[in-house]
Structure 1
Amino acid sequence: MTRAVVVMGVAGCGKSTLAHALAQHLGWTFVEGDLCHPPENVARMTAGIPLDDAARQLFLRNVAIALTGSKGGAVAACSALKRCYRDLIRQQVGDILFALPHLSRADLERRVGQRPDHFMPTSLLDSQLATLELPDADERALILDGTLPVAEQVRLIEAALHHS
């Protein structure tokens, strides 16, 4: 069975909430991707400056290291917006499942706006949506209805893990 999952997507889609719930359910390690960003990335995003591909490299490597460094399995919350980002993680981790909770822009904006203490401003949502590349058919990925209850999303991901 696959021992690594990345809950991916743009800000506000519920990555951290879902990844944490899934990790608890499976008894695996939870990796908060936001904590894998170097300080320079956090400063850029706080200032409303989108990250480019170069700025994301260390972040993505840090996420992959955290996933491979856990015993027994790990679930990370990580944007992984582009195929090349997912490929980088996949190259370092190996067998991995990506799960994307998908929501409307209005739902995302509402959720991001309800997080006043988070470094990611609502103003970066459009750049994240423009950057998002939905997983291709040849990727091991599951697109979920992000409006479903978290427990139902956890159940769907667990079923996909056991189906592999």
Structure 2
Amino acid sequence: MATQRRRTRRTAPLVVVMGVSGSGKTTIGERLAGELGVPYAEADDFHPPENVAKMADGEPLDDADRVPWLDGIGDWLAHHATTGGVVSCSALKRSYRDRLAEAAPSAYFVHLSGSFELIAHRLADRKDHFMPPRLLRTQFADLEPLGEDERGASVPIEGTVEETTALARDALPS
């Protein structure tokens, strides 16, 4: 069992675990929050029903669809800025991350990165999720890697869940 690391209110990190669908955002986000002793939120829970229905029908969301979703996540981040927290969110485009960072400037982005083939294989094995595997190409097309001026780090996902969680934890600023 992993050792729980508790942080004080002043040092608790505010983390956005980002990446394309199937990269492990929920799994790594939940584990990271548990290890850090901070609350966790799943960005999928912030989608309005119209967005979920659109994705379930195989239609990619457009930027206008994402505005209320991103604002809800930004509000959650801002609310947890002093206590810390981890939220999983695709945050594929720089403009999305900028919107989140505007709401919570201390947010740190951990990009779970892997190859299209690896993630497509993971999605093929996933059951009961509204995001169909056929939309993965649109996610990779939209993905803008973290810029050098953004607060964040890229973490490879080829290892085990434990290894990826450790890499994500170690990537956080001290």
TM above 0.5, yes or no, is: yes
Give the whole-Å Cα distance in 2 for the aligned partners of 1:129 and 1:161: 24
Give the whole-Å Cα distance in 1 for the aligned partners of 2:48 and 2:137: 22
- Deviation readout 1:32-60 (Å, 9 max, x if unpaired): 01101011110110000001111011111
Task: Find 1:132's aligned residue among 125, 143, 148.
Answer: 143
CA gap 1:104/1:160 in 2 versus in 1, 3 angstroms:
closer
Counterpart amino acid of residue 23 in structure 2: C
What's the secondary structure of 2:153's corresponding residue? strand
Say if 2:172 is the partner of 1:161: yes
Match of 2:13 in 1: 3
- List structure 1 segments (4+ residues) > 3 angstroms apart after TM superposition: none
Query: How far apart are residue 109 of structure 1 and its match?
Result: 0.9
Q: Unaligned stretches of 5+ in structure 2? A: 1-10
Give the whole-Å Cα distance in 2 for the aligned partners of 1:31 and 1:2: 15
Q: Unaligned stretches of 5+ in structure 1? A: none
Task: Find 2:127's aligned residue among 112, 116, 123.
Answer: 116
Identity of aligned residues (%): 41
Let me know the Cα RMSD of the aligned residues. 1.4
Match of 2:98 in 1: 87
What's the secondary structure of 2:111's corresponding residue? strand
Give the whole-Å Cα distance in 1 for the aligned partners of 2:113 and 2:34: 22
**What TM-score do you get using the length of structure 2 for normalisation?**
0.88
Aligned length: 163
Task: Find 1:20's aligned residue among 20, 30, 37.
Answer: 30
More helix by share: 1
**What TM-score do you get using the length of structure 1 for normalisation?**
0.93
Give the whole-Å Cα distance in 1 for the aligned partners of 2:120 and 2:169: 28
Counterpart amino acid of residue 91 in structure 1: E
Query: How far apart are residue 2 of structure 1 and its match?
Result: 5.9
